[in-house]
Amino acid sequence: MSDTTYPFTAWVLTPSFAPKQVELVRGSYYADWHSTEAKKNYHDSELYTSKEVAIEAGWRRLDEQTSALKKKADNINKKKATLTKHSQVKP
pLDDT of 16-46, one tens digit each?
999 999 999 999 888 899 999 999 999 999 9
Q: Using pLDDT thresholds of 50, 70 and 90, give the confidence band for residue 91.
A: low
DSSP string computed for 57-87: HHHHHHHHHHHHHHHHHHHHHHHHHHHHHT-
**How open is the CA angle 31-58-75, to the nearest 5 degrees?**
100
Closest CA to 8 of 41, 45, 34, 40: 34
Q: What is the CATH number of domain 8-85?
A: 2.30.30
Q: Domain boundaries in the chain?
A: 8-85
Residue 90 above 70 pLDDT?
no
